[in-house]
Amino acid sequence: MERVTVALPDDPYDVLVGAGALTHAGELLGGRRKVAVISQAGVADFHAPGLLAALHGAGVDTDLFLMDEGEDAKSLATVDTLCSELAEWGLLRNDAIVALGGGVVGDTAGFVASVYHRGIPVVQAPTTLLAQVDAAIGGKTAVNLPQGKNLVGAFHQPIGVLADVTTLATLPPREYRAGLGEVAKYALMPGGERVAEIVAAHSSAVVDRDVHTLEALVGACAAIKAAVVAADPHERTGIRATLNLGHTLAHALESVGGYELLHGEAVAVGLVFAGALAGAMERVDTATVERYRDLVAALDLPTQVPDGANADDLVASMRRDKKAVGGLTFVLPNLAGALETVHDPDPRAISEAFHAVGVGG
């Protein structure tokens, strides 16, 4: 069991990574009057019994609340329904919520916790690789609008994260592989050498979901995320924006494509696009551009957008991205190996980057 601390100045919390992390829920939440577990039917069938047993064993009154699956369920309508159900059950301000599931559950239940009774404690219990290495850490919660992904949300830090790597065994192959898109992002970030080493040296163990390898991999990614979040909890200094490497195009691909791509798959394409864009702007050399593409390809992740993607639609969506300040905003590498926020690249560079991921012929 590995413990990574998110060292926030006011309310630090731990990310517990390892087999059996969910059984520590009672230690974290013991003494609470009520705890609502928000999940989805498929996830709850596998993982809710052990979590509920741990909470009951700690003397906590617990109940399970289910939401629908898919990005469409990340909506204000779902928030309305869940809040009404929690109020009917009698959940109060000093009680707590556990978000048991992947990013859809974590984002939605986290947002519910941020607004219900003007904010109640939440524990993130991620059950997907993508959520364990990224989405569950840092307190970013949100739901979608028809106009774009994650446009309504709030910062609401959890009081703890329980990343039980044994839950990853139940993921469908495509969803597990998609989580490697965020792993690739961390491997390409400054300080990501350990992640890159694990992927390079133990690729077969990563693919086979070896528990010990996953504990090391998730722990290494979580440590990077924790350090960035602690340095910039509310995205005010620009440091935390580096976590959005590959995400500007990724969010547009998800929104425009009706979420045909899973988030990690979209991030993978977004990383190739970011590397190509940085190369077209002469911010990096050709070897770095190739490294971005080769790392994504080595993890059997997509490097091209789906057929039929339209550059104009993608640009329009990217202009609505949360990071945008009136134009197009990207996180890109530079020659020194650092990541920087870049606004409104030259249209010719954008066109070249689109060409690199199969848009525009």
Residue numbers annotated as active site? 118, 140, 182, 225, 235, 240, 244, 247, 251, 263
> Cβ atoms within 10 A of the Cβ of 326, count?
8
Residue 32 tokens, joined: 């609470």
Instruction: Name the β-bridge partners of 184.
Output: none
Q: How many residues does the chain have?
A: 361
Contacts of 84 (CB under 8 A, 6+ apart): none
CA distance 141 to 154: 5
Pair 235, 331: CB distance under 8 Å: no
Please give the full DSSP string across 6-32, using - where no structure is assigned: E--SSS-EEEEEETTGGGGHHHHHTT-
Pair 245, 185: CB distance under 8 Å: yes
Scored b (16 or more CB within 10 A) or e, 228-257 reads bbbebbebeeebbbbbbbbbbbbbbbbbbb
Helices 247-256, 263-280: inter-axial angle, 10-degree rounding: 130
CA distance 260 to 340: 29
Q: Give the type of residue at 240.
A: R
Residue 188 tokens, joined: 């390409």
Pair 191, 152: CB distance under 8 Å: no
Q: DSSP 3-state assignment of 74?
A: coil
CA distance 263 to 181: 8
Pair 125, 162: CB distance under 8 Å: yes
The phi, psi pair for 92, rounded to 5°, reads -115, 175
